[in-house]
């Protein structure tokens, strides 16, 4: 298996005033599945193409198992890239598309036939050998593209928004297939996506990028529970926020004091208290309690959404799908903030657009 290290990686296109990727540092372990996540134009695909060797590196290094590969041609890197648009050969049938890479490597015909058969079984398309791409659905085309990439036994698999052209049902199927293939082959895999849910469901770790700069690199859970900045918290969905000053592990706010378990932030720091809607409890525990009038109750099927106003900001709270006695629109109710679910963002990080180098 192969590890990937991106060291001070930078890419500036010709005539561009700003780099597309700025001073990027990433350590991807051998056999790990990592998502490059971010909005359009943030540098995700540019990074992927530098790993593949399809884009020259302006500054920095790409290393495989600690060895720089900047000057190694793409075809010598043992890396394959699967694109969102499949890029199948329209005049070739399925088995010829899958076996193309082996034919280019002059693998014996009998071995090609054997390996193509195994790949068709792996992607669950046995019986489709003679069909042309025009006779396949979008999901089937993506499976063929994946099989064509895997059949040459690469060391690193790169996926560029592989599910973006599929409908919701097919995306679910392909996610499962990608996970199963990743586990079976143990391939170091990097995939690009702008979909937070996709990144969370597939990745061991997520590298979130804004404007060509790495913002946070951590397991999916930490993006929900420990976002580094307000912008990161917002990108990963709705978070409730409250502002105050930290003393010890207690945040003093305009509506009361709230205990936390967070350490490492200096006393007297101005902070943003962050908690996710589903972490707020619909009860009065005596500590970390907020009393607020319920502005609106929205039945969502599997849960009820309560909207309240806290220190001038609208909060969302997700509760049990069965209405609680006394929790009615226009009435005051108690809500508790569990201290182990609170995350604090120092004002210096809460306001800045890009964090310090990580």
- Categorize the per-residue pLDDT at 181 as very low, low, confident or very high, splitting at 50, 70 and 90: confident
Task: Give the mean model confidence (pLDDT) for residues 251-264.
Answer: 92
287/244: higher pLDDT: 244
| Residue 33 in domain | yes
Does residue 233 lie within any of the structural domains?
no
pTM of the full structure: 0.80
Confidence of residue 349 (pLDDT cuts 50, 70, 90): low
Decide if 206 is inside a domain.
yes
CA distances to 43, 107, 336 from 18, rounded to whole Å, are: 12, 45, 46
Radius of gyration of the chain (CA): 25
Domain membership flag for residue 358? no
pLDDT at position 13 is 94
| 357 assigned to some structural domain | no
Alpha-carbon gap, residue 96 to 22, rounded angstroms: 40
Judge whether 356 lies within some domain. Answer: no
pLDDT of 301: 85
- Considering the domain architecture, whether residues 220 and 301 belong to the same structural domain is answered as no
Can you give the pLDDT at residue 313? Answer: 87
How far apart CA 321 and CA 338 sit, in angstroms, is 20
Q: Which of 49-53, 198-202, 235-239, 331-335 has the highest mean pLDDT?
A: 49-53
What mean pLDDT comes out for the span 276-296?
89
- 221 and 242 in one domain? no
Of 238 and 23, the structure prediction assigns the larger pLDDT to 23
Tell me, yes or no, whether 231 lies in a domain.
no
Total residue length of the chain: 358
Claim to verify: residue 131 and residue 86 sit in the same structural domain:
yes
Q: What is the pLDDT of residue 357?
A: 40
Vertex 68 angle, CA 64 and 74, to 5°: 75
Clarify whether residues 58 and 158 are in a common domain.
yes
Cβ pair 179, 189 in contact under 8 A = no
Do 218 and 249 fall into the same domain?
A: no
- Residue owning tokens 């900045």: 229
pLDDT of residue 72: 95
Position 356 scores a pLDDT of 43
* CATH, residue 182: 3.40.50.300
What residues contact 197, with CB distance under 8 A and at least 6 apart? Answer: none
Asked if 61 and 137 sit in the same domain, the reply is yes
Last residue of a domain, one of 185, 203, 225: 225
Q: How confident is the model at residue 227 (pLDDT cuts 50, 70, 90)?
A: confident
- pLDDT at residue 294, rounded to an integer: 93
Q: What confidence score (pLDDT) does residue 300 get?
A: 87
Domain count, the chain: 2
Assess whether 245 and 297 both reside in one domain: yes
Domain shared by 343 and 262, yes or no = yes
Return d(Cα 239, Cα 257) in angstroms, integer.
19
Report which of 276, 274, 277, 273 is spatially closest to residue 319, judged by C-alpha positions.
277
Mean predicted confidence (pLDDT) in 327-342? 91
Do 103 and 207 sit in the same domain of this protein? yes
Check: CB of residue 173 under 8 Å from CB of residue 17: no
Give mean pLDDT, residues 211-219: 95
Asked which of 225, 254, 280 is the last residue of a domain, the reply is 225
| Residue 355 confidence (pLDDT) above 70 | no
- In this structure, is residue 230 part of a structural domain? no
Alpha carbon distances (Å) from 280 to 246, 274, 336, 338 = 20, 11, 6, 7
Q: Which candidate, 67, 65, 77, places its Cα nearest to that of 3?
A: 65
Q: Where among 225, 246, 277 does a domain terminate? A: 225
Host domain of residue 137: 4-225
Residues 203 and 152 both lie in one domain: yes
Identify whether the C-beta of residue 333 lies closer than 8 Å to the C-beta of residue 301: no
Q: What is the rounded average pLDDT for all residues in the chain?
A: 89
Assess whether 213 and 255 both reside in one domain: no
DSSP 3-state of 229: coil
pLDDT digit string, tens, across residues 47-78: 999 999 999 999 999 999 999 999 999 989 99
Considering the domain architecture, whether residues 122 and 179 belong to the same structural domain is answered as: yes
């Amino acid at each position: 298996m192969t590890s990937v290290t991106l060291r001070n990686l930078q890419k500036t296109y010709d005539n561009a005033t700003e780099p597309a990727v700025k001073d990027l540092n990433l350590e991807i372990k051998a056999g790990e599945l990592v998502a490059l996540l971010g909005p359009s134009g943030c540098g995700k695909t540019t990074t992927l193409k530098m790993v593949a060797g399809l884009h020259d590196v302006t500054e920095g290094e790409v290393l495989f198992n600690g060895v720089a590969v900047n000057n190694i041609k793409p075809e010598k890197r043992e890396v394959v890239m699967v694109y969102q648009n499949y890029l199948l050969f329209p005049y070739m049938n399925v088995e010829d598309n899958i076996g193309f890479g082996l034919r280019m490597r002059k693998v014996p015909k009998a071995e090609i036939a054997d390996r193509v058969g195994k790949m068709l079984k792996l992607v669950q398309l046995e019986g489709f050998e003679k069909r042309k791409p025009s006779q396949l659905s979008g999901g089937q085309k993506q499976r063929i593209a994946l099989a064509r990439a895997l059949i040459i036994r690469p060391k690193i698999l790169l996926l560029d928004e592989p599910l973006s052209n599929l409908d919701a049902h097919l995306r679910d199927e392909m996610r499962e297939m990608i996970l199963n293939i990743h586990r079976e082959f143990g391939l170091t895999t990097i995939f690009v996506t702008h979909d937070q849910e996709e990144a969370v469901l597939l990745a061991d770790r997520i590298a979130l990028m804004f404007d060509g700069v790495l913002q946070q690199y951590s397991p999916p859970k930490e993006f929900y529970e420990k976002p580094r900045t307000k912008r990161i918290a917002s990108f990963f969905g709705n978070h409730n926020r409250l502002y105050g000053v930290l003393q010890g592990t207690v945040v003093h706010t305009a509506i009361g004091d709230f205990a936390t378990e967070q350490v490492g932030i200096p006393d007297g720091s101005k902070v943003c208290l962050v908690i996710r809607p589903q972490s707020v409890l619909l009860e009065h525990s005596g500590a970390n309690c907020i009393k607020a009038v319920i502005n609106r109750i929205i039945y969502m099927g599997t849960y009820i959404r309560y909207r309240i106003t806290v220190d001038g900001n609208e909060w969302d709270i997700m509760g049990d799908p069965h209405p609680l006695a006394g929790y009615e629109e226009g009435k005051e109710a108690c809500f508790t903030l569990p201290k182990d679910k609170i995350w604090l963002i120092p004002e210096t990080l809460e306001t800045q657009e890009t964090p310090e180098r990580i």
